[in-house]
Amino acid sequence: MVQITAVIPTHNRARFLGDCLISLCEQNLDPDLFEICVVNNASTDTTPEIVTTVAGHFPRHKLFMVDEPKLGLSNARNRGIAETRAPLIAFGDDDATMPPDWLARIVARFEELGPELGKLGGEIEPVWGAPRPAWISDRMLTMLTASAGHGKIAKFSDYPIVECNCCYSRKALEAVGGFPPHLDRIGKALLSNGLVIDWIARAKGFKLFYDPAIVIRHFIHADRLNPGWFRRRYFWQGVSDYVGILYLNRHNLDFADEIHPILPDCPADWAFVNDPHSTADLETNLAKLRWLGFVLTRAGLIQVEGG
CATH code of the domain covering residue 118: 3.90.550.10
CA distance 54 to 17: 10
Instruction: Note whether 123 and 248 are same-domain residues.
Output: no
Domain assignment of residue 304, yes or no: no
Sorted by sequence, the CB contacts under 8 Å of residue 111 that are 6+ apart come out as none
The residue from 224, 249, 279 where one domain ends is 224
pLDDT computed for residue 268 by the predictor: 87
**Do 196 and 284 belong to one domain?**
no
Q: Write out pLDDT tens, residues 195-212.
A: 899 999 999 999 999 999
- Residue 188 has a pLDDT of 58
Same domain flag for 233 and 214: no
In a domain, 50, yes or no: yes
What's the sign of the alpha-carbon dihedral 110, 125, 153, 151? Answer: negative
Give the pTM.
0.94
Residues 215, 284 within the same domain: no
With beta carbons less than 8 A apart as the criterion, state whether 263 and 273 touch. no
Is the pLDDT confidence value at 152 over 60?
Answer: yes
Residue at 290 is within a domain: yes
The reply to whether 10 and 89 lie within a common domain is yes
Mean pLDDT on 159-166: 93
Q: What are the pLDDT digits (tens) for 209-230?
A: 999 999 999 999 999 999 999 9
Indicate the length of the chain as a whole number: 307
What one-character DSSP code corresponds to residue 4?
A: E
The count of structural domains within the chain is: 2
Q: What percent of the chain has pLDDT over 90?
A: 80
Q: Are residues 231 and 220 in the same domain?
A: no
Residue 112 lies in a domain: yes
Whether residues 99 and 245 share a domain: the answer is no
Tell me how far apart the alpha carbons of residues 168 and 62 are, in angstroms, rounded to a whole number.
20
pLDDT of residue 264: 83
Does any domain span residue 251? yes
Domain that holds residue 207: 4-224
* Residues 256, 218 share a domain: no
Q: Is residue 307 part of a domain?
A: no
Q: What is the pLDDT of residues 10-29, one digit of tens each?
A: 999 999 999 999 999 999 99
21 falls within a domain? yes
Which pLDDT does position 303 carry in this prediction?
82
Task: Give, for 229, the enclosing helix (H) or strand (E).
Answer: helix 227-250
Within a domain: 303 = no
Both 172 and 233 in a single domain? no
Q: In the predicted model, is pLDDT for residue 139 greater than 70?
A: yes
DSSP string of 120-181? EEEEEEEEESSPPPTT--GGGGGGGTS---S-SS-EEESS---TTEEEEEHHHHHHHTS--G
Per the prediction, the chain carries an average pLDDT of 93
Q: What is the DSSP letter of 100?
A: T
Answer yes or no: do 35 and 175 share one domain. Answer: yes
**Residues 36 and 141 both lie in one domain:** yes
pLDDT at 150 over 90: yes
> Across-strand partners of 207?
117
Q: Final residue of a domain: which of 209, 224, 239? A: 224
Among the candidates 178, 195, 224, a domain finishes at: 224
* Domain match, 252 and 112 both: no
SS3 state at 188: coil
pLDDT at 187: 60
